[in-house]
Amino acid sequence: MKKLLFVYNPQAGKGAVRSNLCDIIDIFTKGGYTVTAYPTQAPLDGYNQIKNTASEFDLIVVSGGDGTLSEAVKGMMAQAEKIPLGYIPAGSTNDFASSMGISTKMSVAAQEIVDGVYFDYDVGEFNGEYYVYVAGFGAFTDVSYETSQNAKNIFGHAAYIAEAIKRLPKYTGYEMTVEHDDEIIQGNFILGLVSNTVSIGGMKKLISEGVCFDDGLFEVILVKTPASPLMLQSLLADAALNKLTDKNFVKFKTSKVSFTSDCEIAWTLDGEAGGSHTKAEIVSHKQAVRFMVKPDDKTAEQQLINAIDSDKLPDDSATETQDGV
């Protein structure tokens, strides 16, 4: 039998994984895997477990919020070879799952992994640290990690909204220089996002056009600092609906971008604290992590392209996984 490591955060999303644990393991076992389950005990525990033991398994699956997924991807980036990674969302917002069409029903997500196909997803690197889907600075980007776990468990996504509204009058912009692809942009910006996703903070229309998860390019959005908090509220409403006018927004695609400022600016990576920096270098690693996702036209096509590029068709075990045998 194939070996599967299941790493899960027992505190994420009101502890939902605990009540679904038996069903999840049963699905994996019926799918032909011997399962090793590991509940994380502290921040970075999942990362260390995956980094140190992933090479011993045929498939890694993680369950938790976007922070848990981020730890898993960092652990997978430390491996010498691509090992498939599955994700069962259990957080309050689950931006990555929303972007990738992963079911929030845990048993369905588990079955989709068993029946899944390969999809090689781009991974970002921020000053030497890997992230999955978004690096950001400015207004509201700190709300996720500064909202208490207890509030998230009780109120879910509404806890983020309440915290963001409370902070609205306090936000100010940052003078910075942004460089990409031989272009230099200077200005004062209140919000910046470097992403590979169609959902950020639960907003699914923020970046809704032209996003490709495996093209090696980020979508970058910079929001110019408005004159008042009321105007900021209006700008963010426009951004949520993808009304990104040149007057108020700067947007572009790139595989590499740098941000420079005189003062230290706090960044977030996948909703977690990313430290304060005067210089940020962000690079895309094209198709760096191999996810197991539900079969559809796009992922099946990508699997074939990857196989051709590597001069190797999927092996028998991959075919068996897709067929659910």
Q: What CA–CA distance (Å, rounded) separates 164 from 115? A: 39
Pick the range with the lowest mean pLDDT from 71-80, 163-172, 268-277, 281-290: 163-172
Pick the range with the lowest mean pLDDT from 102-106, 230-234, 287-291: 230-234
Across 14-18, 232-236, 268-272, 311-315, the highest mean pLDDT is recorded for 268-272
Q: Between these two residues, 205 and 87, which has the higher pLDDT value?
A: 87
Mean per-residue pLDDT, 193-216: 79
Q: Between these two residues, 182 and 145, which has the higher pLDDT value?
A: 182
Mean per-residue pLDDT, 7-23: 87
Q: What residues contact residue 124 under an 8 Å CB cut-off, 6+ apart?
A: 130, 131, 132, 133, 135, 194, 196, 218, 282, 283, 284, 285
Does 304 have pLDDT greater than 60? no
Look-up: residue for tokens 């740098």? Answer: 258
What token pair was written down for 262? Answer: 């005189």
User: Each residue of 82-121: b (16+ CB within 10 Å) or e?
Assistant: ebbbbbbbbbbbbbbbbbbebeeebeebbbbbbbbbbbbb
Q: Which pLDDT band holds residue 171 (cuts at 50, 70, 90)?
A: low
Question: pTM for the full model?
Answer: 0.79
User: Any alpha helices (H) in the chain, and if so which ranges?
Assistant: 16-30, 45-53, 66-77, 95-100, 106-114, 143-146, 149-155, 157-167, 229-240, 297-309, 316-323
Q: Which pLDDT band holds residue 248 (cuts at 50, 70, 90)?
A: confident
Q: Are 113 and 86 in contact (CB under 8 A)?
A: yes
Residue type, 250: V
Q: Between these two residues, 17 and 242, which has the higher pLDDT value?
A: 17
Residue type, 60: I
What token pair was written down for 120? Answer: 């090689």
Q: Which of 104, 134, 81 is nearest to 290 (CA)?
A: 81
Q: Are 173 and 189 in contact (CB under 8 A)?
A: yes
Q: Are 285 and 125 in contact (CB under 8 A)?
A: yes
Mean per-residue pLDDT, 197-224: 80
pLDDT at 260: 98
Does 157 have pLDDT greater than 50? no
Does 305 have pLDDT greater than 70? no
